[in-house]
Amino acid sequence: MWITGQHPVEELLSSRLQRPRNVLLSEAVPDKAREFFAARAKEAGVPCLTCPREEWHRRTGEREGGGIAAEIPEFLYADLKAWIGSISPRAALFLLDGITDPHNMGTVLRNVRAFGLSGIVIPRDRSCPVTPAVFRASAGAAAHVPVVQVTNLARAIEILQESGFWIYAAAPDGETDLSSFSPAARTGFVLGSEEAGIRRLVREKCDGALRIPMESGIDSLNVGVTSGILAYCARMARKAEEKI
């Protein structure tokens, strides 16, 4: 799998979760940028190769990316139980139910990275996996965020609850207004697809549902925007707790 673009490749070279096999640069990349990536690749112990522009396009299958690419054998997903055992007592995460758009997936990953959440959980089926498009949409954040892929999202919620998590669905008809919500030490937010929302069985497993207060006439927000608001809420709650 080829990851292309300056920021995604730069983030990949500094990742502790994903390791590139090599870096491939087009001869059209300016000398200063080629020197930069050659140095970063050397620090990471990754081969850095330069080739003609047409060969770069042929090998990566990409027409975009500025002639900068890194190859990873596959995206490494985290194991749910191992991940739970590795995080701190105070943690927040997203569970994505039916998110299939790579741009939305990338935005969620970027918000997780920006606001210091612990990761995301996605189902193996009917969900967007981490692809090169997701990497680009996340501006490289996908290289740093643990992504857990599970067979059954409802069962994953149960496992998280057994580990002290309180799980809340994000829904326009949620019974709790976000403005009066106080996250638990371990909190998970479930985000559903814009078309179908959160599936009934998944919502029934949740401990409650949250709604974001909005002006009349607006039914819902894009999942990327919703994730940003919830991630900021979780971060502010954590910062307030640290001051006590």
pLDDT tens for 29-38 read 999 999 999 9
Q: State the pLDDT confidence band at 195, using cuts at 50, 70 and 90.
A: confident
- Letter for the amino acid at 155? R
Mean pLDDT value across residues 207-215? 92
- Superfamily (CATH) of domain 80-243: SPOUT methyltransferase, trefoil knot domain (3.40.1280.10)
- Output the average pLDDT for the chain: 93
Q: Mean pLDDT, to the nearest integer, of 53-75?
A: 91
What count of Cα atoms within 13 Å lies in the side-chain half-sphere of residue 59?
20
What is 2-71's CATH number?
3.30.1330.30
The answer to whether 114 touches 11, Cβ cutoff 8 Å, is no
**pLDDT (0 to 100) of residue 244:** 55
pLDDT confidence bin for 242, thresholds 50/70/90: low
Assess whether pLDDT exceeds 80 at residue 194.
Answer: no
What residue segments make up the domains of the chain, in order of their start?
2-71, 80-243
- Rounded to an integer, the average pLDDT of 80-106 is 95
Q: Please give the C-alpha separations between residue 61 and each of 2, 4, 69, 193, in angstroms, as whole numbers.
A: 8, 10, 11, 30
- Residue 199 reports pLDDT greater than 90: yes
Give the model confidence (pLDDT) of 212-224 as tens digits: 988 877 777 889 9
- Mean pLDDT of all residues in 4-28: 95
pLDDT score recorded for residue 238: 82
Per-residue pLDDT at 231: 96
Query: What is the structure's pLDDT at 41?
Result: 97
User: What pLDDT, on a 0 to 100 scale, did the predictor assign at position 218?
Assistant: 73
Measure the N-to-C terminal CA separation of the chain; round to a whole number of Å. 46
